[in-house]
Amino acid sequence: MNFFYTSVYTSHLSHLILAITTCLCLFVSSVNAEEVKSQEAIFTDAFDGSPIKTPLKDGEEETPALKEFKATSVNPYLGNEEAIAKGKAVYEAWCVACHDVGAKGKMGPSLVGKTFKYPQTANDVGMFAVIYNGASGAMQAFSKREITQDEILKLISYIRSITPQ
């Protein structure tokens, strides 16, 4: 009889510990989600994950949107129709030859969907880093081309706007 009560007690105790652990994990996850929303952007190389610097070019302006993005990791142009239109123009000028209309991929990989050649491009900070710093093949660093960091943010807002949900 004593064994029965001990087993029931142990079972209830393990359920209680599991419930408390689950609540703590959910709480920590929600806190971490809030921290990520306002975390300073850390840009990394697509190949080795090493940090990359993103200095402005001579004469390039750090727009309020770029400053906000680097401080929070949140692209302020997402959903902004004017920025999306400008991003589409950048895409058509610089990207469509390799990534095709609709960014579904051609010589370069698809930029839309849930599967990415470079997993870091699933978020805007990672996509910014790949566009800015380059990747394999013909994907050369746009930091060496006539495109500003602010235009990269608008380009990303366009790509996200055509990505199926």
Give the C-alpha distances (Å, rounded to integers) separating 27 from 11, 13, 21, 57, 133: 24, 21, 10, 42, 36
What letter represents residue 56's amino acid?
A: L
Query: Domain limits of the chain?
Result: 1-37, 64-162
- DSSP conformation class of 123: S
| Torsions phi, psi for 24 (to 5 deg) | -65, -40
pLDDT tens string, the chain, 165 residues long: the values are 554 444 444 444 443 333 333 333 333 333 333 444 568 999 999 989 999 999 999 999 999 999 999 999 999 999 999 999 999 999 999 999 999 999 999 999 989 988 888 889 999 999 999 999 999 878 889 999 999 999 999 999 999 999 987
Per the CATH hierarchy, to which homologous superfamily does domain 64-162 belong? Cytochrome c-like domain (1.10.760.10)
Question: Which DSSP symbol is given to 51?
Answer: B
Q: Is 72 exposed, middle or buried (0-12, 13-18, 19+ CB in 10 A)?
A: middle
Which three-class secondary structure state does DSSP give residue 144? Answer: helix
The secondary structure of residue 80, as a DSSP letter, is: -
Token couple for 155: 């380009």
